Amino acid sequence: MEKPLISLEEETLNAYIDRDDVGVYVTYLLANHGPADSVTFGFPVDATPETLYTPNGYDYVLGSSLTDFRVEDGGKAAPIEKTITKPIGADERPAGLDPKILLVRRWSLMTLKFEAGKKKHLTVSYKVRCLARDEGFERDTLWKYGLRTFLYTFHPAATWGNGRVVNLDVSVSTSWLRQNDLPPVTGLAPPGSSDDAGKIRWTFHDQDLAKLPDLTFSYDPSLLYQEAQIKRNLLDPEHVKALIVSSTLPAQGSFHYGKESMRDNDLRTAWVEGVKGPGIGATITFEPKDAYVTEIALLNGFVSNEALYYDNARIKKLRVEMECGEGAEESERHPTSEIILPDRPYKAFNPRYPFASVDWIVQHPSGNGFIDKVKLTILEVYPGRKYEDTSITELYLCGFGR
């Protein structure tokens, strides 16, 4: 479709991030400089399809990848007459997009009528699932979450008039990322300017749309999703039959440092060993009960606040001894390992996403049998700047009940 007598006076694109989706609202102001006319208009959306097999081959169905698609012509709904969906070639894919992600473009076609010498507004709105690839199974604790990538192409609008737009305003709201304390968008093209409200803006005048790069950006929600996935797999306290520590720092007034502080899901409390010196040789022993343990993690140190974190010692080297029973091969019944825990700076700790700062000391494949007993021994510490005591804020067990 090329209509040299119908010019694109204005295009306004407003988009917003909403979890895995981006909502889009586009408004065009079109001016007919000729006689009354009917035009076949096509609007493209790039998305990952739900691929279905049919007797004639593969049929690309967007399904939940594209929702709430609506076109309004002068304030009235414009019926979609036909859709065409085709794969996007390698030369049109965003740079760096995972090659395993299938990308298609769906064209929605409709007829628009223009009165002689008149202007009209055309709006298109929809929600599109971002391009992404995650790896993991339902019971897995540690999923691999891919970047979410959004793509919008300006080029098809170049068929109006002389291919230029008088005024083009674009904005993308990233408030969802800010509200969830997630990293800002990356890979932004073309470059835009961000305001204090987290909205990215672009303004173009007399722009040749055929030469304007596609609008594309990526964002990473993995902190939010991984936190939720781990919480789903956490074992309740009832699945620990015995939790034994070799020593505990005596209570000081209303402050208690007992072993129960490691299993209370409270970042303000911690177990603190009670031997003289930095706690070398101190042990923690526990037995799972009626559960299959797949992962064990520690939130190392006293993370309640920055002063306590640095004033107290943190584990540097840890011995992990396990006794595995039902389902374990004889050679795998008593695995032992020694691991070095990183010296994490406190500023990297985010209380909203504590699991981003844990140390996974055990990752137990499902084929290695049930863990009957675990013993942790402190071998080396990062010394505290004020106290010798070594602390652990939380001991996490992930898995599922028998």
CA distance 138 to 151: 29
Amino acid, single-letter form, for residue 143:
W
Reply yes or no on domain 234-401 having CATH 2.60.120.10.
no
| Domain chopping of the chain, boundaries | 6-228, 234-401
Q: Which two tokens stand for residue 58?
A: 């593969």
Same fold, 6-228 and 234-401: no
Contact 24, 125 (CB under 8 A): yes
Class of domain 6-228: mainly beta
Cβ-count burial of 209 within 10 angstroms (0-12 exposed, 13-18 middle, 19+ buried)?
A: buried
Strands 21-32 and 6-18: antiparallel
Give pLDDT tens digits along the chain (402 positions).
Answer: 567 899 999 999 999 999 999 999 999 999 999 999 999 999 999 998 876 666 666 677 888 899 999 999 988 999 999 999 888 888 878 777 888 888 889 999 999 999 999 999 999 999 999 999 888 876 778 888 999 999 999 988 999 999 999 999 999 999 999 999 999 999 888 888 877 778 999 999 999 999 998 899 999 999 999 999 999 999 988 888 889 999 999 999 889 999 999 999 999 999 999 999 999 999 999 998 888 888 999 999 999 999 999 999 999 999 999 988 776 677 677 889 999 999 999 999 999 999 999 999 998 765 566 788 999 999 999 999 999 999 999 999 998 877
Q: Which two tokens stand for residue 394?
A: 């939380």
Amino acid, single-letter form, for residue 129:
R
Q: Is 342 helix (H, G, I), strand (E, B) or coil?
A: coil
